[in-house]
């Protein structure tokens, strides 16, 4: 379908973009991989689209003082090319490889995906497990929102009107940390029916920290319960089986034409077990 008419504007600066998003009937666009289909299906309409994809300030991956900073307009392709992520936060590269196809990864951005807050997207699980922090700015100032407070509902984030997501901040995982992402994809779209992202730290043979997050399973991506019970254990198969089995217990799982809830819950157990075991293997 052809979208309803709208004005298109390339923001000249971040300040101009912030000013524009504060005005009525304006939508920001980065890679357009989610926004353009929404406009074309007329699921959303707007008078003005402000493009921020070219703003250098919002691009790139860097590391300073033990924290990785990813600009919101950084494409998935650029994430895959970023040596600092391969070296210090390989979970992000592992997740990114599962997103869409080459064309989507060349144009789609991490910030666009997180702002879109699709409950079936791949990246949110990793953001929760890594305890990422999101910097949002408006013409009035800036604030930081934890990824763990970001996902409010399906396609709903903690961002307020007039705000832009500008940076994703992730503390470099401690020495002895291993991570893994396991997903079962819907064959046609490649989106996960269920994805599980695990981050574990082991020191002197004992697990000292553990987090696991699911995506695709519920209305919002979420941290699995009971994973902290791994802490203090040796992280062996028996300990993992125990927590993985209960990780999705009591969850009101999504049900749609692709998979019934019971099947998703089954996949969640398998994904949790595999992700945790692989993360522990990598933790050493
Ligand atoms: C064919 C196809 C396959 C895909 N497969 C997968 C998949 O397997 N897994 C997966 O996780 N995803 C998948 N996706 C989704 C893809 O990851 C997202 O479309 C993409 O990340 C969105 O980023 P974007 O820069 O294109 O955002 P846009 O489409 O430009 O924007 C998306 C939304 O976010 C808002 N927005 C964008 N940037 C910002 C910002 N900085 N601050 C505030 N608001 C902002 C926009 O206003 C809009 O509402 C697929 C998409 C396509 C088209």
Q: What is the pLDDT of residues 134-188, one digit of tens each?
A: 999 999 999 999 999 999 999 999 999 999 999 999 999 999 999 999 999 998 8
Whether residue 198 lies inside any domain: the answer is: yes
Supply the range of the domain harboring residue 167.
Answer: 56-171
End residue of a domain, out of 144, 171, 198:
171
Are both 146 and 193 inside the same structural domain? no
Task: Say yes or no: 102 and 204 in one domain.
Answer: no
Tell me, yes or no, whether 237 and 212 share the same domain.
yes
Residue-level pLDDT at 284: 79
2, part of any domain: no
One domain, residues 183 and 277: yes
d(CA 274, CA 250): 20
What is the sign, positive or negative, of the torsion defined by CA atoms of 107, 111, 116, 117? positive
Asked if 178 contacts 200 with a C-beta cutoff of 8 angstroms, the reply is: yes
84 CA distance to ligand 1 centroid (A)? 23
Q: Check: CB of residue 126 under 8 Å from CB of residue 92.
A: yes
Q: How close are the terminal C-alpha atoms of the chain, in Å?
A: 52
In a domain, 137, yes or no: yes
Shortest-distance atom of ligand 1 to CA 107: 26
> Would you say 114 and 215 are in contact if contact means Cβ atoms under 8 Å apart?
no
Nearest C-alpha neighbor of 109 from the set 74, 148, 71: 74
pTM: 0.97
| Closest residue CA from atom 17 of ligand 1 | 113
- Kindly state whether residues 161 and 182 are assigned to the same domain: no
Domain identity same for 166 and 82: yes
Q: Decide which of 171, 198, 220 is a domain's last residue.
A: 171
Cα distance between residue 226 and residue 119, in whole Å: 21
Residues of the chain with pLDDT under 70: none
Mutate to test the pocket of ligand 1, among 3, 96, 113 (most ligand atoms within 8 A of CB): 113
126 Cα to the center of ligand 1, angstroms: 16
Cα 34 to ligand 1 centre (Å): 4
Distance 116 CA to ligand 1 centre (A): 6
DSSP 230: G
Query: How much distance in Å is there from the Cα of 107 to the middle of ligand 1?
Result: 9
**Which residue in 35, 54, 59 sits closest to 46, CA to CA?**
35
Q: Is 119 in the pocket of ligand 1 (CB under 6 A)?
A: no
* Tokens 């992700």, located at residue: 275
Give me the helices (H) in 51-167, please: 76-81, 83-88, 90-96, 102-107, 110-116, 123-129
Residues 231 and 133 in one domain: no
Q: Note whether 126 and 197 are within 8 A (CB).
A: yes
Say which CATH number the domain at 108 has: 3.30.465.10
Ligand 1: residue whose CA is nearest its atom 53: 33
Mind listing the pLDDT tens digit for each residue in 30-51? 999 999 999 999 999 999 999 9
CATH number of the CATH domain containing 34: 3.30.43
CA 197 to CA 279: how far, in whole Å?
9
Longest dimension (CA), the chain: 62
- State in Å: Cα 95 to ligand 1 middle: 15
User: Per the structure, how many domains does the chain have?
Assistant: 3
Q: How far apart are CA 87 and CA 157, in angstroms?
A: 30
Pair 49, 8: CB distance under 8 Å: yes
Task: Report which protein residue has its CA nearest ligand 1's atom 6.
Answer: 100
Rounded (10°) CA dihedral 9, 13, 15, 18: 40
Cβ 199 vs Cβ 213: under 8 Å: no
Instruction: Tell me whether residue 119 is in a domain.
Output: yes
238 and 268 housed in the same domain: yes
Q: Residue with the nearest Cα to atom 21 of ligand 1?
A: 113
Token pair for residue 20?
């524009």
Q: Is residue 244 part of a domain?
A: yes
Look at residue 1 and tell me if it is in a domain: no
Which spans in the chain are helix H? Answer: 14-21, 35-40, 76-81, 83-88, 90-96, 102-107, 110-116, 123-129, 237-246, 261-283
DSSP state letter for 90: H
Residue 131 placed within a domain? yes
Boundary residue ending a domain (171, 200, 216)? 171
Assess whether 45 and 119 both reside in one domain: no
Residues 231 and 268 in one domain: yes
Q: Is the CB of 165 under 6 A from ligand 1?
A: yes
In a domain, 203, yes or no: yes
Same domain, 229 and 190: yes
Same domain, yes or no: 143 and 111:
yes
């Amino acid at each position: 379908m052809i979208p309803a008419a709208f004005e298109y504007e390339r923001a000249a600066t971040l300040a101009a973009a912030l000013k524009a998003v504060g005005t009525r009937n304006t939508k920001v666009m980065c890679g357009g991989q989610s926004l353009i289909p929404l406009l074309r299906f007329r699921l959303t309409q707007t008078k003005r689209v402000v493009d921020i994809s070219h703003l250098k300030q919002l691009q790139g991956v860097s590391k300073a003082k033990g924290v990785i900073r990813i600009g919101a307009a950084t494409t998935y392709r650029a994430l895959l090319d970023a040596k600092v992520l391969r070296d210090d936060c390989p979970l992000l590269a592992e997740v990114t490889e599962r997103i869409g196809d080459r064309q989507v990864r060349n144009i789609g951005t991490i910030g666009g995906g997180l702002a879109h807050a699709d409950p079936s997207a791949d990246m949110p699980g990793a953001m929760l497990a890594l305890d990422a922090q999101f910097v949002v700015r408006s013409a009035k100032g800036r604030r930081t929102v934890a990824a763990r407070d970001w996902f409010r509902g399906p396609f709903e984030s903690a961002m307020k009107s007039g705000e832009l997501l500008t940076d994703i901040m992730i503390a470099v995982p401690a020495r002895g940390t291993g991570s893994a992402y396991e997903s079962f994809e819907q064959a046609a779209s490649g989106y996960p029916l269920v994805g599980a992202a695990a981050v574990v730290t082991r020191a002197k043979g004992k697990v000292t920290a553990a987090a696991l997050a699911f995506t695709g399973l519920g209305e919002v991506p979420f941290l699995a319960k009971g994973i902290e019970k791994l802490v203090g254990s040796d992280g062996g198969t028996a300990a993992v089986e125990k927590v993985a089995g209960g990780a999705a217990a009591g969850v009101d799982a999504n049900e749609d034409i692709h998979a019934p809830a019971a099947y998703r819950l089954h996949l969640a157990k398998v994904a949790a077990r595999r992700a945790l075991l692989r993360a522990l293997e990598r933790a050493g």
